[in-house]
Amino acid sequence: MKNRLESYIESNRDRLDLSVPDDDAVWKKISGTLDARKRQAGWIWKAAAVLLVLLSVGSVSIYSVNRALHHQPAGISLNDISKELGAEEILFRQEVYRKMDQVKNSNIDPTLSVDLYRELHQIDIQYDGYLADLQQLGDNPKVIRGMIRCYEQKIRILEQTIREIEKSERYDNKTEPQ
């Protein structure tokens, strides 16, 4: 059967070949398909980047809210030891929350957000250790200094993060076509 079909096509080729393919039209169709795939791939990458940024900002937001809700000391607090220490702790907390809000409301790079979360979490672990020591040891100057240093470290890290964000934004503004 195959031989009969092949012989028929060969003997009637002139009659069967009514048109010559238009190479330009074929190429335009192929390149159009390729361009559509490129646009689609670009859209997917942009969507993934936006999703990653939203997740990062969300994780920082959730972190700060959870930290505020779950980090209320039970038992002895710095305020119980001294009203001045209690007032100082409140000022530190307010400063940390203010800087966290500043970071949260910026266009933070997702990798920077993850690094920030890790560093703040490590400081929180240290703080929790000092808080446990405060419960056991009471008014111990080393423990109190350690707790204050935790707040100072958080503020320094947040300030450094804010400077990096501002530097990145200035760079982005310089490189954008005008």
pLDDT per residue as tens digits for the range 22-80:
667 667 777 677 666 666 666 677 777 777 776 666 666 666 555 554 455 557 777 77
- Report the C-alpha gap between 178 and 166 in whole angstroms: 20
Task: Extract the runs of DSSP E, i.e. beta strands, from 21-147.
Answer: none
To 5 degrees, how large is the angle CA 108–CA 62–CA 168?
5
For all residues of the chain together, what is the average pLDDT?
A: 77
Percentage, residues of the chain above pLDDT 70: 70
Our separate counts of H helices and E strands in the chain read 7, 0
95 burial class (0-12, 13-18, 19+ CB within 10 angstroms)? middle
Handedness of CA 62, 68, 74, 76 (dihedral sign): positive
67 burial class (0-12, 13-18, 19+ CB within 10 angstroms)? middle
* Average confidence (pLDDT) over 8-33: 70
Residue 120 CB coordination number (10 Å): 21
pLDDT at 149: 94
Q: Does the global pTM surpass 0.85?
A: no
